[in-house]
Structure 1
Amino acid sequence: MQELQVRVTQAQVEIIDREKFEQGINAVVTRYENYTVTAATIKEDKQVLADLRKLKKQISDERIKIKRELSQSADEFDGYIKTTSKPLDDAIDKIAQDVKEFEEHQKALRLDTVKSYIAKKSAEYMIDPRVFDGKIIEYLKATDFMADGVTLKKVTMKSLDDMVTFEYQKQQEFEQAKRMISGQCAEYGMNDQPYIRQLKELTVMEVLEQIKSDYLFEQEKQKMRQAQEERERILAAQRAKKQEQAQKSTETPKFDPETGEILEVDPIPHKELEAVRGAENAPKRYTQKMTLEIYFEDTAEKDLFKAGLTQLGFDFQRNYWVNGYRRLDQPVTQEELEAMNNRG
């Protein structure tokens, strides 16, 4: 093929009397450098601006004209080369497309070869070959195949064998780990699925430790729930006993000879009382004290008041005592109580 040979004649542009042109520009600039626009001369000012713009346009038009003449030959040359070399461009594009299609076909053949080999090897270990789909691309390079482009090299087959074997060992270890986790959960009566999912991030020993920790935590929570239920049962029994005693208050009451307090007819057994006290979280420390003077309409109302205190956690002779209890000789009305209070 004949190479392109071109003779270029450099075009030259000569500015006639360059110095005189520059002097003309400088003269105009000097004349109008400190030009001031005023209200009185605005009409003349606009004409000056128009004249200066006209001068600028004349210079610019001449520049564009000369540049167009200089670039005309370059544009003609560029168009000629593009038109003449178009068939060559078409031939290059066609061959490039054929090469691309061939390489894609070869890649597809290599992909089928690798997939077929992995499928056969996976069947020996009863492994789903799809687990290797993300790794196949690593074995599609031309250097992994013989000269024909589709036959695997021995070193490539060895690498694929090792990959399948490693996956088999990993799955066996995973199944063993699942059995260990399931056995531990079955022993503790726990669901194994959340812990099996943890194998993605933790070792089997770490998961087993987590199972044991969760089991002990649940056991402790169960003990706390049972203790709470026992406390509630004992307190409920105590309240029921108090209510029963209130219902029996119509019987002739027995008085404490020292304090005047009515003694319970059927007091809570000592062991049950100790159990109630033991059910409290911790011994209380009292920081305040208050003395009340309360008037009851009858014994039932007094017993109801005591039962209410018990429900609020105040028990007679544990965190409150009664001093000066007595029966009134004459009933006192509400008005008399208010009068007594006002006198105090």
Structure 2
Amino acid sequence: MQELQVKVTQAQVEIIDREKFEQNISEVVAKYKDYTVTAATIKDDKQVLADLRKLKKQISDERIKIKRELSQSADEFDKYIKDTSEPMDDVINKIANDVKEFEDHQKAVRLDTVKSYLANKSAEYMLDPRIFDEKATEYIKASDFMADGVTLKKTTMKSLDDMVTFEYQSQQQLEKAKATISGQCAEYGMTDQPYIRMLRDLTLVEVLEQIKSDYVFEKQKAEMRLAQEQAERLRASQEAKEEEQAPKSTETANFDPETGEILDGGQIPQNTQNELREAENEPKRYTQKMTLEVYFTSTNEKDHFKTALAQAGFEHKTNYQVSGYQRIEPLTQAELNEQNGW
């Protein structure tokens, strides 16, 4: 095919009497450079402005006319080339589409070859081949196949074998880890599912440590509840015993209004009064400690909880403190139960 050959003749534009044109422009500029508009001459001033604009438009119109004439031949040439070569464009587009369809078909054939190989290899290890679908697309380049385009190279098969073997070993390790977690939870009487899910982000050792920590915490809570129940029963028993031993009397004891002393043989012994005063002055000694994790639905509920503690005789930074307060992602009761194994 002969290449396009074009002869271009450069158009010439000649301004007649260029010097005269430039001189006229200079004279107009010199005449009106220091022109002053006044209230008395405003009508004439507007006419001067109109004349100058008319002169400017005449120059601009001539410039546009000449430019259009110069570009006309270029536009005609451009249209001619496009119209003449359009059939060739159609041929190029058709061949390009055919090439793309062929390449897409080849990729599909190569992908089927890779998936078939992975399916056979997965069957040896009892694995679901679908878990490799995404990674299979990484092995469909022409460089992964022999010259015929459908036979895998040995290096490619080795990479696919390693991928399947690694997945099998990973799943075996995961199953062993799950069995270990289930056994540990069964020993402690705990639900294993929340801890099995932790394997997504934690190692087996870290999960086992968490199980032990939660077990110790729950055990401490159970022991504390038992101790509280025993203390309540003991206090109730003592109160009942004291009521039985208290003297029955229908008479009202007489008191000295100034000293508070019980009269008629009912005086409070001096040593008992001293013991009561010493007990009041004795500093409070704490013998037990409890770590409590509480979940609130709102700030108002948190404030209500603090108020309830205060009413029960507990003051913040006197006999309890708050650590680790934070906002969390909203949880339903079912999600909270599952998270904590309740």
TM > 0.5 fold call: yes
SS at match of 1:135: helix
Structure 2 SS opposite 1:15: coil
Distance 1:49 1:257, change over 3 A: closer
Query: Deviations for 1:92-116, whole angstroms, at most 9, x for unmatched residues?
Result: 0000000000000011111111111
Match of 1:15 in 2: 15
After superposition, the Cα gap between the structure-2 partners of 1:260 and 1:197, relative to the gap in structure 1 and judged at 3 Å, is: closer
**TM-score, structure 2 length as denominator?**
0.71
1:258 equivalenced with 2:263 (yes/no) = no
Decide whether aligned partners of structure 1 residues 2 and 246 sit closer, same or farther in structure 2, where only a CA change above 3 A counts: same
CA contact (8 A) 1:109 1:150 kept: yes
Q: What is residue 152 of structure 1 aligned with on the other side?
A: 152
Q: CA deviation at 1:240?
A: 4.8
Q: Is 1:180 equivalent to 2:191 in the alignment?
A: no
Residue 104 (1) aligns with residue 115 (2): no
Following the alignment from structure 1 to structure 2, what is the Cα–Cα distance between the partners of residues 238 and 21?
Answer: 126
**8 Å contact kept, 1:195–1:211:** yes
- Counterpart residue identity of residue 76, structure 2: E
Structure 2 residue identity aligned to 1:171: Q
RMSD: 2.8
Match of 2:78 in 1: 78
- Letter of the 2:223 counterpart: K
CA positional deviation for 1:260:
11
Aligned counterparts of 2:149 and 2:269: Cα–Cα separation in 1: 114
Q: Provide structure 1 residue ranges, at least 5 long, that are not aligned to the other structure.
A: 263-278, 284-311, 314-344
Write the letter of the residue equivalent to 2:106. Answer: Q
SS in 1 for 2:248: helix
Task: Quickly say closer, same or farther: Cα 1:58–1:184, change in 2 above 3 A.
Answer: same
- Deviation string for 1:106-137 (max 9, x for gaps)? 11111111111111111111001111112011
After superposition, residues 117-266 of structure 1 pair within 5 angstroms as: 117-240=117-240, 248-250=248-250, 255-256=266-267, 258-259=269-270
Q: How much does 1:49 deviate?
A: 1.9
Measure, in 1, the Cα distance between the counterparts of 2:213 and 2:239: 39
8 A Cα contact 1:146 1:153, kept in partner: yes
In structure 2, the partner of 1:38 is 38
- Structure 2 CA distance for partners of 1:209 and 1:190, relative to 1, 3 Å: same
Q: Which amino acid aligns with 1:124?
A: E
Q: In the aligned structure 1, how far is the partner of 2:242 from the partner of 2:38?
A: 110
Distance 1:282 1:157, change over 3 A: closer
Superposition pairs for residues 260-339 of structure 1, below 5 Å? 281-282=286-287
Q: CA deviation at 1:35?
A: 3.0
CA distances 1:296-318 after superposition (whole Å, capped 9, x unpaired): xxxxxxxxxxxxxxxx99xxxxx
Partner of 1:92: 92
Please give the per-residue CA displacement for 1:258-292, whole angstroms capped at 9, x wherever unaligned.
Answer: 34989xxxxxxxxxxxxxxxx98459xxxxxxxxx
Once the 2 structures are TM-superposed, how far is the Cα of residue 155 of structure 1 from its aligned partner?
1.2
Q: Secondary structure at the match of 2:7?
A: coil
Distance across 2 between alignment mates of 1:256 and 1:282: 35
Counterpart secondary structure, 1:176: helix
Supply the distance in 2 between the matched residues of 1:257 and 1:174 (Cα, whole angstroms): 75
Structure 2 equivalent of residue 267 of structure 1: none
1:48 equivalent in alignment to 2:48: yes
How far 1:176 moved relative to its partner? 0.2
Quote how far apart the aligned CAs of 1:243 are.
5.9
CA drift at 1:28? 2.3
Conserved 8 A contact 1:255-1:261: no
Residues 173/39 of structure 1: CA separation in 2 closer, same or farther (3 Å cut)? same
Deviates more, 1:100-109 or 1:202-211: 202-211
The unaligned stretches of length 5 or more in structure 2 are 254-264, 274-283, 289-311, 314-342
Aligned-pair CA distance for 1:56:
1.4
Query: For residue 269 of structure 2, what is the amino acid of its counterpart?
Result: E
Per-residue deviation, 1:223: 2.3
Could you say if the C-alpha distance between residues 208 and 260 of structure 1 is closer, same or farther in structure 2, counting changes exceeding 3 Å?
Answer: closer
**Closer, same or farther: CA 217–260 of 1 in aligned 2, 3 Å:** closer
- Report the number of matched residues: 269
DSSP 3-state at the match of 1:248? coil
| Local SS of the residue matching 1:7 | coil
* AA of the residue aligned to 1:192: D
Q: Distance in 2 between matches of 1:23 and 1:183?
A: 106
Is the partner of 1:134 in helix, strand or coil?
A: helix
Residues 241, 65 of structure 1: CA spacing in aligned structure 2 closer, same or farther, 3 A cutoff?
farther
